[in-house]
Amino acid sequence: MVDNHNKNQRSYNMRRVRSHNTNPELQVRKMLHRMGLRFRLHRKQLPGCPDIVLVSRRVAIFVHGCFWHGHDCKRGKPPSSNRDFWIPKLLRNKERDNKNIIALTKLGWHSMVIWECELRTPYKLEAKVTKELALESRFESISGTK
Ligand SMILES: [Zn+2]
């Protein structure tokens, strides 16, 4: 595969799509830990092998790189060169993500996507997570975990 796009500009994108224990993932784990949440990692038996799973709440969390998963943000844009290669590839990733979320929903799981760019404003991200979990608090309250 010939890769023409600007390596300096895009080097952070070159991680593999479904690599585990990435820096953004570790940041999310730290945050959840601080929030007093118990979680498990990389449940292979669930669709899409979610990065983080809150088992008792049936919440699956995906930590997604904006580039690979086509986030609607500055970092999520496909490269301006080699578009014939990148656009279908990135679209396939998005389709796969959607399929996984639909499959999880069918199994009774709530999916939450945390985007890499959201980690730049941790307080906002924490508010988002709190809000989504509150909506899903069918089992226990967040403060009840510690
Ligand atoms: Zn983004």
- Which string of DSSP letters, residue by residue, matches 66-117? TTTTT-SSGGGSPPSSSHHHHHHHHHHHHHHHHHHHHHHHHTT-EEEEEEGG
Binned at pLDDT 50, 70 and 90, residue 135 comes out as low
C-alpha–C-alpha distance, residues 55 and 70, integer Å: 27
Question: How close is the Cα of 65 to the center of ligand 1, in Å?
Answer: 7
Q: What number is the average pLDDT over the span 134-145?
A: 54
List 20's β-bridge partners, or say none: none
For residue range 47-93, what is the model confidence (pLDDT) as tens digits?
Answer: 999 999 999 899 999 999 999 999 999 999 888 899 999 999 999 99
For residue range 19-35, what is the model confidence (pLDDT) as tens digits?
Answer: 667 789 999 999 999 99
Other beta carbons within 10 angstroms of residue 123's beta carbon come to 7
Which DSSP category does 28 fall into?
Answer: H
Question: How close is the Cα of 122 to the center of ligand 1, in Å?
Answer: 14
C-alpha–C-alpha distance, residues 124 and 143, integer Å: 19
Question: How close is the Cα of 125 to the center of ligand 1, in Å?
Answer: 12
CA angle at residue 102 from 59 to 41, to 5 degrees?
Answer: 35
Question: How close is the Cα of 145 to the center of ligand 1, in Å?
Answer: 30
Q: For the whole model, what pTM was predicted?
A: 0.78
Q: Which long-range contacts (CB under 8 A, 24 or more apart) does 28-36 make?
A: 28/52, 28/61, 28/63, 28/114, 28/119, 31/122, 31/125, 31/126, 31/129, 32/61, 32/129, 35/126, 35/129, 35/130, 35/142, 36/142, 36/143, 36/145, 36/146
